[in-house]
Structure 1
Amino acid sequence: MDTNEIATKLVSWCKAGDFEKPYQELYSDKIVSIENDGSGEGAFVEGFEGIKKKGEWWQENFEVHSNTVSEPIVADNWFSVKFEMDTTHKPSGQRSKMSEIAVYEVKEGKIVKEQFFYDEE
């Protein structure tokens, strides 16, 4: 698959609310996932085990009420997607909206890196 095909599939699945299938189908087993600059606790993970733990943490801590996913912007081996979410932080009960830009790198037909950029409060 080329970068455009991967980007289109990821966006399609995310729009349908399936955030697990992209990891199973599109990601390299050597995936690197970074939140903002990667310096916070849990903000830099490697491999499927790291991604799995990150996903479990998200599911345990957030309820997603709505999710909006943009069409991808593709350039060579890179693509970006804008995500907007309305969530409730389960431990505190605080509801909030967030917007982030995700940037993905593709090598040999798989996503090898994802990095999310958003304002931290």
Structure 2
Amino acid sequence: MPTIHEVACDFTAMLRAGHFVAAGDRYWADNVTSVEPADLPGGIRASVSGIDAARIKCAARFGAVRIDEIGIDGPFVTGNQFALFLDLVTFDASSGLRQPFTEIALYTVRDGQIAEERHFYA
């Protein structure tokens, strides 16, 4: 089983490469809980449980936009958790808008998998 540091580093590397869905598929536990500050468009609740619900939430969050730039600080590891500071610039083709997006993400790891993720937006 991978250590918390190994999970944190590999997950972060996958995000830096733009592989958000693949990172989730590799590291989300089957019963993962994913929490956003507020409900997402399309009726997606702020807090969802289960890998299928997390995949739907991820698609709702990033499916309509292209990520043009990504900067990640971290991972910052303590105990069974790690945090990332993410700075993104997204492009929405339907509106033509480029927008900066900043967040802190906190991940809790159990048995080598992400059991919970919490997202905090600036």
Q: Percent identity?
A: 26
Shift, 1:94, TM fit: 2.4
* TM-score normalised over the length of structure 1: 0.86
Does the 8 Å contact 1:106/1:113 carry over to 2? yes
SS of equivalent residue, structure 2 residue 59: helix
Equivalence for 2:28: 27
CA contact (8 A) 1:60 1:90 kept: no
Q: CA RMSD in A?
A: 1.6
Q: Distance in 2 between matches of 1:17 and 1:95?
A: 17
| Letter of the structure 2 residue corresponding to residue 99 of structure 1 | T
Q: Number of residues paired by the alignment? A: 117
Q: Does 1:64 align with 2:63?
A: no
What's the CA shift for 1:93? 2.8
The answer on whether the counterparts of 1:11 and 1:70 sit within 8 Å (CA) in structure 2 is no
**Cα distance, 1:54 vs. partner?**
1.5
CA-to-partner distance for each residue in 1:91-115, whole Å, 9 max, x for gaps?
4332210110000001122110001
In structure 2, runs of 5+ residues without a counterpart are none
Unaligned segments of structure 1, at least 5 residues: none
Q: Which residue of 2 aligns with 1:46?
A: 49
Deviates more, 1:46-55 or 1:76-85: 46-55
- Distance across 2 between alignment mates of 1:60 and 1:13: 17
TM-score by length of 2: 0.86
Rounded to whole Å, the distance in 1 between the matches of 2:63 and 2:15 is: 19
Alignment partner, residue 78 of structure 2: 75
- The more displaced of 63-72 and 101-110 is 63-72
